């Protein structure tokens, strides 16, 4: 059922019922290459595809502003010189895979004290990365400005099983994928990036963290599940019903539906 080609365009009447307001408070920055922050994620767009300066970033919990269990790095700084995005659209990220923990000798897919990484997006939504599960709702990084650029820093936190800020000594890895959408829509208007890994240091000495980071580079779990061109839509209305849908980009602004799951009426009316 529902196996058909979905053409994404501004004229397409795909009705989504996530009520998201326009992200406020964008930073006003110059977006030429001389002003880019080298430690930030730097995406650019060519055609329908988003590229990034790297798929691997290192950072530390312990910002002076946020305290020992928080950080606002890495930020996201669009490289307009290489390829601007569409003004007024939203830059988003989709969580990928589970939280991993470095125990001093290897990366493992579970954590010692129920830790999770939370990200607060531009609308104040909390996105969770846990060892058991991750949020399936995409986050809003911010609204793309009139030059096709954006520079934002979201807040990342490490919390323990008691829901308090804190985390066992070690390193933590999350993955996410960037995509672009129109305002108030979860429908991607781009091919999402390959998974981007962020490794957070929580209390390790420099040498110990570099060992963890080097080992994380070779982690490729989730890569098969997150190939370029796969788009997840959390709620879409079709034929009078609501569905979760997974689509594959096939070129020429077309996506092929590869999976759909009906959402019970009790859920979509909440």
In a domain, 139, yes or no: yes
Can you give the pTM of this predicted structure? 0.71
- Please give the Cα distance from 174 to 131 (Å, whole number): 10
Residues 6+ apart with CB under 8 A from 10: 182
In a domain, 3, yes or no: no
Give whole-number Cα distances, 230 to 81, 87, 113, in Å.
27, 24, 33
Instruction: Please tell me the total count of domains within the chain.
Output: 1
pLDDT value, residue 231: 67
Q: What angle do CA 90, 93, 99 make, to 5 degrees?
A: 165
Q: Which of 154, 157, 156, 178 is nearest to 166 (CA)?
A: 157
Domain containing 56 equals 21-226
Residues 243, 2 contacting (CB under 8 angstroms) = yes
In a domain, 130, yes or no: yes
pLDDT value, residue 259: 80
In a domain, 244, yes or no: no
In a domain, 232, yes or no: no
Tens of pLDDT, residue by residue over 103-134, are 999 999 999 999 999 999 999 999 999 998 89
In a domain, 251, yes or no: no
Residues 91, 142 contacting (CB under 8 angstroms) = yes
DSSP line for 37-95 = -TTSB-EEEETTEEEES-SEEEEES--TTT-TTEE--S-EE--TTT----TT-EEEEEE
Per-state percent for the chain, helix, strand, coil, to nearest 5: 10, 40, 50
In a domain, 115, yes or no: yes
In a domain, 216, yes or no: yes
pLDDT value, residue 35: 54
Q: Which residues of the chain have pLDDT under 70?
A: 1-38, 220-238, 248-256, 265-270
- Please give the Cα distance from 20 to 169 (Å, whole number): 36
């Amino acid at each position: 059922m529902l196996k058909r080609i979905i053409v994404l365009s501004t004229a397409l009447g795909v009705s989504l019922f996530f009520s998201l307001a326009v992200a406020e408070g964008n930073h006003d920055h110059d977006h030429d290459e001389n002003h880019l922050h080298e430690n930030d994620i730097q995406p650019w767009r060519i055609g329908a595809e988003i590229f990034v300066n790297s798929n691997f970033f290192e950072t530390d919990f312990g910002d002076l502003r946020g305290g020992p269990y928080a950080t606002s790095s890495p930020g996201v700084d669009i490289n307009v010189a290489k390829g601007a995005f569409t003004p007024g659209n939203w830059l988003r990220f989709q969580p990928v895979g589970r939280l991993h923990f470095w125990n001093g000798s290897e990366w493992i897919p579970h954590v010692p004290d129920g830790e999770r990484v939370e990200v607060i997006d531009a609308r104040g939504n909390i996105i969770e990365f846990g060892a058991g599960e991750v949020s399936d709702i995409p986050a809003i990084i911010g609204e793309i400005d009139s030059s096709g650029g954006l520079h934002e820093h979201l807040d990342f936190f490490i919390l323990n099983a008691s829901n308090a800020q804190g985390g066992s000594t070690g390193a933590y890895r999350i993955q996410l994928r960037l995509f672009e959408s129109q305002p108030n829509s979860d429908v991607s208007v781009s091919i999402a990036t390959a998974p981007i890994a962020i490794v957070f240091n929580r209390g390790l000495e420099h040498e110990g963290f570099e060992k963890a980071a080097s080992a994380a580079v070779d982690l490729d779990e989730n890569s098969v599940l997150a190939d370029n061109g796969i788009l997840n839509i959390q709620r879409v209305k079709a034929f009078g019903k609501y569905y979760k849908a997974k689509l594959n980009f096939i070129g020429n602004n077309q996506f092929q539906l590869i999976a759909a799951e009906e959402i019970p009426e009790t859920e979509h009316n909440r």
